[in-house]
Amino acid sequence: MVWERLKVLKVMGEVTGRLDLNEFARMVGLTPNQTVEHMQELLKADFLRKIGGGYGITDAGKTLLKAITPVPEGAEFQFYAAIGQPIGVAAKSVWEFYEAVKQVAACSLEFHLTRGDFENWMRTTLDDAEFAEELARLKKPKLKGEKLRKAIIKAAENKYGFEKLQ
């Protein structure tokens, strides 16, 4: 369901002109009814707005599109438990980072946060200084374990609106 909504938003971002519903639904790979349903959900979540007889992407929608865009090959974020101990989890986008944070061991989150790895990747690879600073601020209360995980997830949801997709 989430991926179908993301695909609708992604195709909307790629289309340069007006399309009829049937053509757009074909491009998305859904039925017209499914497409309309997802567009209505994206509208409710403020990722789309009504423009005349059609829809347009909001700033929140553009931010979300940026978050699902993969980084170039080799620029993925690799999670480690400690120096020289990769855990075999990588993130190619902010969305994948968000999903990985939900699953990796808390010790990996603590390792990367204290070293500034998260903020560095966000700032240099993803060009998102604002989110990098938000992650850097999580160091000050010295969050650990599940509290740290929840704080990173909440920060990502606040910035990118991921929770609105559920």
For residue 140, is it within any domain? yes
Give the integer Cα–Cα distance in Å for 152 and 23: 39
Identify the helix (H) or strand (E) that includes residue 12. helix 2-14
Task: Note whether residue 72 is domain-resident.
Answer: no
Task: Indicate if 88 and 114 belong to the same structural domain.
Answer: yes
Is 150 in the same domain as 108? yes
Helix (H) / strand (E) element for 44: namely helix 32-44
Same domain assignment for residues 81 and 27: no
Residue 166 has pLDDT above 80, yes or no: no
Q: What is the pTM of this model?
A: 0.88
DSSP secondary structure, 88-154, as one string: EEEESSHHHHHHHHTTS-HHHHHHHHHHTHHHHIIIIIS--HHHHHHHHHTTTTT--HHHHHHHHHH
Do both 12 and 89 map to the same domain?
A: no
Confidence at 19, pLDDT banded by 50, 70, 90: confident
Examine the fold and report which residue of 13, 37, 67 is the final residue of a domain before the chain moves on.
67
**For position 155, what pLDDT does the model report?**
96
Contact 78, 120 (CB under 8 A): no
Instruction: Tell me the pLDDT tens digit for each residue of 91-105.
Output: 999 999 999 999 999
Question: How many separate domains does the chain show?
Answer: 2
Same domain assignment for residues 118 and 137: yes
88 and 146 part of one domain: yes
User: Which residue, 45, 67, 89, sits at the end of a domain?
Assistant: 67
In a domain, 161, yes or no: yes
For residue 109, give the amino acid letter: L
Higher pLDDT, 141 or 127: 127
Kindly state the average pLDDT of the residues 30-59. Answer: 93
Q: Report the interhelical angle of 145-160 vs 94-101 (nearest 10°).
A: 150
State both tokens at 71: 């980084």
Over 80: is that where the pLDDT of 45 sits? yes
Q: What is the per-residue pLDDT for 16?
A: 80
Residues 23 and 82 in one domain: no
| 76-83 mean pLDDT | 97
Residue pLDDT, tens place only, 129-144: 999 999 999 998 888 9
pLDDT for 79 equals 98
Domain that holds residue 10: 2-67
Residue 3 has pLDDT above 90, yes or no: no
Residue 49: what pLDDT? 95
Residues 95 and 138 in one domain: yes
145 & 81 share domain:
yes
| SS3 call for 82 | strand
| Comparison of pLDDT for 121 and 20, the residue scoring more | 121
Partner residues linked to 107 by β-bridges: none
